[in-house]
Amino acid sequence: MSAQLQEQAATQSGFLYNARRQLFQSVPPIPANVRLDGKTVLVTGANVGLGLACTRHFLELGAARLIMAVRSISKGEAAAALFKKEFASAQIDVWQLDMELPSSVQAFAARCKADIPRLHVAVLNAGLGKEFFVRTAEGKQRETTLQVNYLSTVLLAVLLLPLMKPNSSESDKAPGRLTLISSDASLGEKLPAVPAGSTILDTMDDSSKFEGYQQYARTKLMLNMFTAKLASDVVSPSEVIINTCNPGATKGTGAISAVQSKIILAVMTLLFAVLGRTPEDAARAYVHASLVLGAESHGSFTDWLVRCWPLFMYGDKGRRATDRLWDETLAELGFANIVDVLKTVKG
């Protein structure tokens, strides 16, 4: 449905529109008929901030089993211990996942495949913004924000898809629900100009042109682009409904820590203090994206409603950039046989 909202995109990508939306949009309650009884749910970055708040929402909705994917097992177990007291009937598992390391993503996905008969809901929330350029330790040693927010997130999303399709042993044939967390920072962003002979990913990996908050915004734009292509060309909404979700400005998440300008950081800190939602309220957007919105949200950018894509994604230029990014990403993730995985889920 985001694909049909191009005429509104220029307005909705602007700062004033999003400031008004943040200030005046009500945060609706989770509908009373939404339940997760008997369902298995996964949340990445589940021990802090929005991920922790989302985890609580899902447990309150009766999730039978909840996988908390965390970088630090000790911190994850500390968070889970409180939930286990409150939600004694739920099975709560804490599994390690380091999104900086592709090998950790693969190992986590393999563990899911071996241990989870059917994954009904997954919210890929783990993300970050780096103030300075830092490379990861594996493979092509990509810049950390690029690796975590985009490459590892889409790798995990694809590897989980086979587990999320309805299977013949279940009476419930409802589609799986996969939500990837984006940001309204992506709405007015563009990908960088790519020099001749280079690629989008290599251009994003150029330390000489790095600016922390812009890198964050661009990786979230890329996430929207890949998700739209995945939904339109590969996965049927009758099997897995895939969307991205924007929680909006949220207090205490550290999303603006990558801003390098002290003046801009001061202004944004004030705006977040005035306009920012609590993590509990913002995480309801996750619940709506992954449980309330239906097939109309497939491939779309959402909060509590289906919204416009970032303006850059529309038109011939946006489609060409999306196709190019898709091809580059499949090549980059070839070590995980991602093309073969996509063939198994193609609708």
pLDDT tens digits along 200-215: 999 999 999 999 999 9
**314 band by pLDDT with thresholds 50, 70 and 90:** very high
Give me the pLDDT at residue 15, please.
Answer: 76
**CA dihedral sign, ordered 22, 25, 26, 27:** negative
What average pLDDT does this structure show over 84-110? Answer: 97
Spot the catalytic one: 220, 229, 286, 314: 220
Tell me, what's the pLDDT at 279? 85
pLDDT at residue 165, rounded to an integer? 95
What is the DSSP track for 149-217? IIIIHHHHHHHHHHHHS--TT-S--PPEEEEEE--GGGTT--PPPPPTT--HHHHHT-GGG--HHHHHH
Q: How confident is the model at residue 278 (pLDDT cuts 50, 70, 90)?
A: confident
Q: Residue 236 above 80 pLDDT?
A: yes
For the chain, give every domain's residue range. Answer: 2-345
What is the pLDDT at residue 255? 55
φ/ψ (deg, to 5) at 178:
-120, 115
What mean pLDDT is reported for the chain?
91
* Through-space distance between the first and last CA atoms of the chain, rounded to whole angstroms: 18
- Is the confidence at residue 264, as pLDDT, over 90? no
The model's pTM: 0.93
Residue 226 has pLDDT above 90, yes or no: yes
Is the pLDDT reported for residue 256 higher than 60?
A: no
- pLDDT at position 74: 96
- Of the residues 213, 216, 286, 314, which is catalytic? 216
CATH homologous superfamily of 2-345 = NAD(P)-binding Rossmann-like Domain (3.40.50.720)
Q: What pLDDT digit, counting tens, does each position of 189-203 carry?
A: 999 999 999 999 999
Res. 258: pLDDT tops 60: no
Verify whether residue 220 is a known catalytic residue.
yes
For residue range 161-178, list pLDDT tens digits in order. 999 999 877 777 899 999
- Residue 172 CA to residue 250 CA, distance in Å, equals 35
Cβ neighbours for 306, distance < 8 A, ≥ 6 positions apart: 1, 2, 5, 293, 296, 297, 300
With a cut of 80, say whether residue 126 has pLDDT above it: yes
Backbone dihedral angles phi then psi of residue 328, each to the nearest 5 degrees: -65, -40
Comparing 93-102, 300-309, 324-333, the range with the smallest average pLDDT is 300-309
Query: CB–CB of 272/251 below 8 Å?
Result: yes
CB 290 within 8 A of CB 177: yes
150 catalytic? Reply is no
Which uninterrupted H or E stretch holds 122? strand 121-124
DSSP 3-48: GG-HHHHHHHTSHHHHHHHHHH---PPPPTT---BT-EEEEESTTS
Is residue 265 over pLDDT 80? Answer: no
Share above pLDDT 90 across residues of the chain, in percent, rounded to a whole number? 79
| Mean pLDDT, residues 51-74 taken together | 97
